[in-house]
Amino acid sequence: MSRGNIDTVFAGSIPKLYQTHLVPLIFEPYAVEVAARVASLRPARVLEIAAGTGVVTRHLASALPADASIVATDLNPAMLTQAMEIGTRRNVTWREADAMRLPFDDAAFDVVVCQFGAMFFPDRAKAYSEARRVLRDGGSYVFSVWDRIENNEFADVTTRALAAMFPDDPPRFLARTPHGYHEQARIASDLVHGGFSSPPTFSTVTARSRAESSRIPAIAYCQGTPLRGEIEARAAERLAEATDVAAKAIAARFGSGPVDGKIQAHIVVVDR
C-alpha cells in the first residue's frame, strides 16, 4: 500500500478508537467553535464534508434550528457507521460521498462545512471547486485545518518519540498529513484555483488538549489514526511497544498524572 493510501485508511478498530480517544482529546473544542460559526450564518441548508464520526454534526444538530437541514457525508463508510451509531439529537441525512465528486446539485446549500478534512483531499483545488459548485451565491464554505505540528504538542511529542524508535524510517503521518497543510498563502491560492474569488478569512484558534493520563493521547494517535498503518508497515508486532514509547514520552514532558497540551488550528471562511 502506498504512503498516500495509508494516510486515508480509517478502518478496523480505528473509527471506534478515534471516537473514544481522539474526538474528546482534540476535535471537540473545534467542533463547538465551527458549529457556532456556521449557526451565526443562519443557514437553511448545510452540507458537511468529511464528517468522520460526527462530532461537528452533533454540534450542528444542537446549534441550528429544527427547520435547518443537515446532510453529513464522509468517504469512509466505517467512519459514517460509527457516526450513525452514536446518532444526533434530531434528524440528519447521512451519506457516503467523495469531496472530489459531490453527488449534489449546483447551488444546493447555504453553507458547506468541513472540520479537519482538507488536509486529506488528494486535489484540494478540485475539492474546493466542488464545495463552491454546491454553494448558492453568497453562501459560505467554513473549514478548519491544523496548524504546524510544533504548535500541537501531543502530536509533536509522539512524532519525535516514534522517530527515535524507527530512526531509519520515521513514521511521519502526523507531520505530513494532518499538520502538513497550514500555510495560509497556500490555502488561499488553492481556494483561488478552486474558483473562489472572495478573499478568505483566517482565524487561528488555540485550545487545550486534556486527558486523564499520557496513555490516552498515545493510544489516540498510535492506534486511532492512520499512523497505526505506518507503525504496522514497519513492524506490526511493535504497535503496543510504539504506543508505550509515545506514552512515556508524553509523560516525560507533561507529567505522570493528567496531561494538558496545546493544540492550534486555523478556521477558514470564504464566501461564494
Q: At what angle do helices 153-165 and 227-235 cross, to 10 degrees?
A: 10
- Whether 10 contacts 226, CB under 8 Å: yes
The pLDDT profile of the chain, 272 residues, written as one tens digit per residue, is 444 454 554 545 677 888 999 999 999 999 999 999 999 999 999 999 999 999 999 999 999 999 999 999 999 999 999 999 999 999 999 999 999 999 999 999 999 999 999 999 999 999 999 999 999 999 999 999 999 999 999 999 999 999 999 999 999 999 999 999 999 999 999 999 999 999 999 999 999 999 999 999 999 999 989 999 999 999 999 999 999 999 999 999 999 899 999 999 999 999 99
For 29-64, b/e burial (b = at least 16 CB within 10 A) is bbbbbbbebbbebebebbbbbbbbbbbbbbbbbebb
Q: Beta strand pairing status for 109-115 and 69-74?
A: unpaired
- Whether 266 contacts 178, CB under 8 Å: no
pLDDT of residue 5: 53
Q: CA angle, 129 as apex, 1 and 134 as ends, to 5°?
A: 110
pLDDT of residue 83: 95
The whole-angstrom separation of Cα 83 and Cα 126 is 26
Q: Which of 3, 12, 27 is nearest to 177 (CA)?
A: 3
pLDDT of residue 13: 63
Instruction: Report domain extents, the chain.
Output: 3-271
Q: What is the pTM of this model?
A: 0.93
Class of domain 3-271: alpha beta
